[in-house]
Amino acid sequence: MGKVLKPRFESDELKILRYLDTRMVLSPSDKQHYLNLKKGYEGEVMFDQRTEKLTCDCLILNDLLFKVNSTTFQIDSLIIFQGTIRFFEIKNFEGNFIYEDECFQTVGNKKIANPHHQLIRSDLLLHQLLQSHKIILPIEAQVVFVNPQCTLYECPCNKPFILPTQMDAYLAKLDNTPSKLSEKHSSIAEKLISLYIKKSPYTQLPSYKYEHLRKGNICPLCFSFSIKVVGSKLICLECGYEEKVENAVMRNVKEIMLLFPEMKITTNLVHEWCQVIDSKRRLSRILDKNMEIVGVGQWAYYENR
Ligand SMILES: [Zn+2]
């Protein structure tokens, strides 16, 4: 069975951009950056859903950032098989592309960097990394185009690309390759997990201030601000999503902490942020129950337990 040893999570950068996108007007370039990250993440999740279904003996490590000789590189997905380490550069390209002069061109003649070049770079750096830790196993690298709405014309067939129409056959082939993992493979996985960089140094966020953000509880499903309190629940007037008040408050606290890690969580702050819950006493009860109170009286604030 395929085992996911390192799952993928949404990055803080993507979460923050999503919050900001609902609470302020992003500049066109920030908005584009947000949409690119979102699309990339969705593509990666699409691929994860496929690799999780592998039934052969393999270890799956998703979303890894490494540093070797002061150069960082990203691996979208890495799978350890008995005889090979395979890694994948995942692309969620959508639409028609023409392969020309080692470049990807859109039908509108826009040039897009060839992901093969990125793959070659990562391949080289991963070799160096494994070598420096005396890990000896052949590496195979591939670019996966996950979006079924992606067509690539005039692509030479010797490229390490897996096109949407080839994906099923490719995964079936992997699944049918005999693979029996041993202690050695687990220790390679552990080593790689110990080496990856937990927090990406490359975030690109706009500057934002507490005062400038629109306050209010956002529906986690449709991002609407139209919310009504009914008893112990919040109901979204747009999509009908129901959420317990307590869960919504704690979700908002997490959002404030991510957006403003330097701010102290107080009942007043959460009250102003959520808007929708009138009673401060009710908010305090929820915060008391879920968090640790520090200090007393008007100076009191809350921290994670
Ligand atoms: Zn909604």
CA distances from 165 to 114, 152, 168, 194 (A): 19, 11, 7, 36
CA of 229 to the centre of ligand 1 (A): 13
How many Cβ atoms sit within 10 Å of the Cβ of residue 1? 9
CA of 283 to the centre of ligand 1 (A): 22
DSSP state of 206: -
CA of 234 to the centre of ligand 1 (A): 10
Question: How confident is residue 6, by pLDDT bands cut at 50, 70 and 90?
Answer: very high
Residue type, 281: R
CA of 38 to the centre of ligand 1 (A): 19
Mean pLDDT of the chain: 94
CA of 39 to the centre of ligand 1 (A): 21
CA of 220 to the centre of ligand 1 (A): 7
CA of 177 to the centre of ligand 1 (A): 45
CA of 226 to the centre of ligand 1 (A): 8
CA of 233 to the centre of ligand 1 (A): 13
CA-wise closest residue to 94 among 161, 145, 42 = 145
CA of 111 to the centre of ligand 1 (A): 38
217 neighbors 245 (Cβ within 8 angstroms)? no
Residue list, CB under 5 A from ion ligand 1: 219, 221-222, 224, 236, 238-239, 241
CA of 305 to the centre of ligand 1 (A): 30
Q: How far apart are CA 105 and CA 107, in angstroms?
A: 6
Sheet with 150-153: strands ordered across:
111-112, 103-106, 95-100, 150-153
CA of 241 to the centre of ligand 1 (A): 5
CA of 235 to the centre of ligand 1 (A): 8
Residue 74 φ then ψ, to 5°: -110, 135
Q: What is the pLDDT of residue 198?
A: 87
Secondary element (H or E) of residue 62: strand 58-68
Domain ranges in the chain? 2-195, 215-303
DSSP state of 163: -
Average pLDDT for 9-37: 96
CATH code at 2-195: 3.40.1350.10
219 neighbors 241 (Cβ within 8 angstroms)? yes
Q: How far apart are CA 89 and CA 176, in angstroms?
A: 22
pLDDT digits (tens, 9 = 90+) for 197-214: 988 878 899 999 999 999
Counting residues of the chain whose pLDDT is more than 70, the rounded percentage is 100
pLDDT digits (tens, 9 = 90+) for 209-260: 999 999 999 999 999 999 999 999 999 999 999 999 999 999 999 999 999 9
Secondary element (H or E) of residue 49: helix 28-51
pLDDT digits (tens, 9 = 90+) for 125-180: 999 999 999 999 999 999 999 999 998 888 888 899 999 999 999 999 999 999 99
CA of 251 to the centre of ligand 1 (A): 15
